[in-house]
Amino acid sequence: MGTAKRASSRSSRRRGVSSALTLLCAMAILTAPGIAVGSAYAAPSAPGAPTPTPTPPPPPNSTPDAQGKSLDQVRQEIEDLYRQAGAATDAYNLAESETKAQTERIVEIAKLVVAGQDRIAGLKNRAGAAARAQYRSNGLPPGARLALSDSPADFLDGTGRLRQGEKATTDLLSELNRTQTDLERYAKDAGAIWQKMEENRVKQEAAKKRIEEKIKAAEALENRLEAEEKARLIQLEQEAQYKAQTAWLSSGAMKDVKGTATDAGKLAVQFATAQIGKPYVWGAAGPDSFDCSGLTSQAWLKAGRGIPRTSQEQLRLLPKVAVKDMRPGDLIIYWDDASHVGMYVGDGAMVHAPRPGRNVTMAGVGSMPIKAVVRPDA
């Protein structure tokens, strides 16, 4: 019975994903006539099956700008600029997350310094009390106190207590020295952290400048296009994605992919797909907008697992798995510089925040060059 229920549940989930993809493809076809986007996630036609003849796309405009570039060349240039902006966004986000961690460490050090100062004050009070006690004994040497004592037994008992007091004083002074040494180390650590924070601030400003320059250049290219050219540009993007996905599927990459999501993976996928339609904004991690790694890191945070903030750190720190072993919830790192990331949702599809000017959406896993697959809940 339990097996039947699980099989039924998997079947229902698979039908749910397929329905979502069907709806997505239908919307794409409505907005991009003549483009067979609905085939992006499906396997190529079986041998012997009739191959549908796609409607030929209208020829790209030959001179959309003053340099005489074709519309497809403009598309590639725009995508390259946005990808460079994505790499700079990763650098910005990494510097920001490091600064946050360093700020938290500074707060911890400040608390340790306060505690150390309080400790030193207490030790000094104890040292003062010991000095006052010695003063009250007139500081007489042991031989003189023995000669003046009425009871040698009382003297010897007092001598024992004196030795204990001397040891306690020695221990107190040693502890005082250790605490002062700790405070000096805290001050040195804090200085080093402040230096790193300043370096990160410079990195953030440089990355922000690169991001703004790349986005501005890409927007300038796109803004020179007429409305019809902009619509055609979207079609060209979809064509390129469809072509890449079809080639990837034809390679047999999905043949052995049968992994099922963990409970945490299901929660991560549920969160990520619920963000579909929200805009891409660089540096954003919700709730109203996301960049690519902001979406994946927040999805897994909602699933109860904190992961690195950037796609490059996700690649570096999370366990890698083979494509054939990937399961829903795994993260797919794209491009050689690991500048983009999406989340596998099953059936050859992934959800991602593409770039500025686009919204969170689903696309084919193979629609971009895959660098690696990583698993947050290995």
CA-based torsion, 182, 188, 189, 194: positive or negative: positive
Quick check: 349 and 363 in contact, CB under 8 A? Answer: yes
Query: Would you call 329 a catalytic residue per the annotation?
Result: no
Query: Would you call 25 a catalytic residue per the annotation?
Result: no
The residue from 292, 299, 331, 350 that is catalytic is 292
Quick check: 376 and 309 in contact, CB under 8 A? Answer: no
The residue from 214, 327, 352, 375 that is catalytic is 352
Quick check: 240 and 310 in contact, CB under 8 A? Answer: no
The residue from 309, 340, 371, 375 that is catalytic is 340
Closest-CA residue to 211 (of 97, 27, 86): 86
Quick check: 36 and 51 in contact, CB under 8 A? Answer: no
By annotation, the residues acting in catalysis are 292, 340, 352
